[in-house]
Amino acid sequence: MNTMTSKERIDAVLSGKPVDRTPFALVDGGAWIAKTENISYRTLYGMPDGGASLIAKWTDDIETDIISAVSGVFTACLNAFGSPIHIDDIGSPVNAGPALKDPENEIPLLDKSTIRDKLLANEFVQNMLTQTRNVKKLVGDRKYLLGDIAAPFTMASVLVGTQDFIMLMADEPELVEQLMDFTTEISAEMFRLLCENGCDIAMPADPVASGNLISQGMYEEWALPALVNLKNKITDYKYFMAHVCGASGARIQSLRDSGVLAFSCDYLVDLDTALTDADGKMAIMGNLNPAGALLAGTPDEVYAEACERIKTANGRPFILAPGCDMGCDTPYENVKMFIKACKDLA
């Protein structure tokens, strides 16, 4: 088979067609890039190009086939709605904190009509859009840009705090419905802004929808319908993917049937079972343990695990990747083993 471009490779794998080699991607990689450059997210996103040149530099160096347009800040847009974010520690992920201190009284007052204006008025959101535009200029002719923003279920959890959110689901389901209607529009509006600035692939991340946190029944009652609603709101994207952390193999068939084209899964998901459940209708992306050999092992150990994943896929639609965001201290030599395995087993 002739050598494909990165875009051709992704097009092929997402349509279930043969590829010249297994594609390689990161879930985002922002923390690793920032730590490798010894800078904070404030410095990265505060650069005139929003840090796009560094994102392009490192993802080209390790030869990813997809590039994250907004690396490492999947909940940061909630800062526009009062969530605090900490962006000054080198190597730390950007996590937003709760914004609603009195959910019972504040949720009914949430106003969807102001969401876009609040996002556009937020400095960090503007930095995210700047990064996206400039990444598009640098690599958009060669690679698809992926937007990694929190899914509605996870956004709702962040706004009130995860423990309080789980309790609210049991005690005040009508309030959860109102809240998730609001966060679905936040997620959709943020994805729309990214698309307008160059993003090609939407990949909502839903860590709070993990099988380690909620049951499959709760997932299908709350998280999945919101994800499908989001998908239907952002139809300008070329591709729609999804990521759920933890032991979330039970999510695969329902995601496949909802039209998701690729599922990014954690190391706790059995890859062969995931590929079988996807049934060739959805690509599986993953799933090396970010805290295992990739972080603490040798290059040879990472290479062996990467090769094992490719052999397990055995030609089924698969994108090699870490199971979640890559740790900031992951050795460069280990990261280089991803593309080596992809090329050696072509």
pLDDT digits (tens, 9 = 90+) for 301-327: 999 999 999 999 999 999 999 999 899
Consecutive H or E run containing 202: strand 201-202
What integer is the mean pLDDT of 36-63?
96
pLDDT digits (tens, 9 = 90+) for 123-136: 999 999 999 999 99
Q: Which residues contact 302 (CB under 8 A, 6 or more apart)?
A: 288, 293, 294, 334, 337, 338
Rounded CA separation 339/139 (Å): 18
Look up the CATH architecture of domain 6-344: Alpha-Beta Barrel (3.20)
Residue of 273, 279, 259, 283 whose CA lies nearest to 312:
273
Q: CB neighbours (10 Å) of residue 210? A: 19
What integer is the mean pLDDT of 91-115?
93
What integer is the mean pLDDT of 62-78?
94
- Could you say which DSSP state residue 209 is in? G
Burial 226-254 (b: 16+ CB within 10 A, else e): bbbbbbeebeebbbbbbbbbbbbbebbeb
pLDDT digits (tens, 9 = 90+) for 203-247: 999 999 999 999 999 999 999 999 999 999 999 999 999 999 999
Domain spans in the chain, listed from the N-terminal domain onward: 6-344
pLDDT digits (tens, 9 = 90+) for 186-206: 999 999 999 999 999 999 999
Tokens linked to 324: 């979640």
Question: Which pLDDT belongs to residue 93?
Answer: 80
Question: Which pLDDT belongs to residue 339?
Answer: 97
What integer is the mean pLDDT of 108-132?
97
Helix intervals (H) in the chain: 6-14, 30-36, 41-46, 52-61, 103-106, 115-121, 123-139, 152-160, 162-171, 173-196, 216-218, 224-233, 252-257, 271-278, 293-296, 299-313, 332-344
Q: Which residues contact 22 (CB under 8 A, 6 or more apart)?
A: 310, 313, 318, 319, 320, 341, 342, 345, 346
pLDDT digits (tens, 9 = 90+) for 8-35: 999 999 999 999 999 999 988 999 999 9
pLDDT digits (tens, 9 = 90+) for 257-282: 999 999 999 999 999 999 999 999 99
pLDDT grade for 91, boundaries at 50, 70 and 90: confident
User: Which residues make beta-bridge pairs with 205?
Assistant: 150, 243
Q: Which amino acid is at 230?
A: L
Rounded CA separation 216/210 (Å): 9
What integer is the mean pLDDT of 96-120?
96
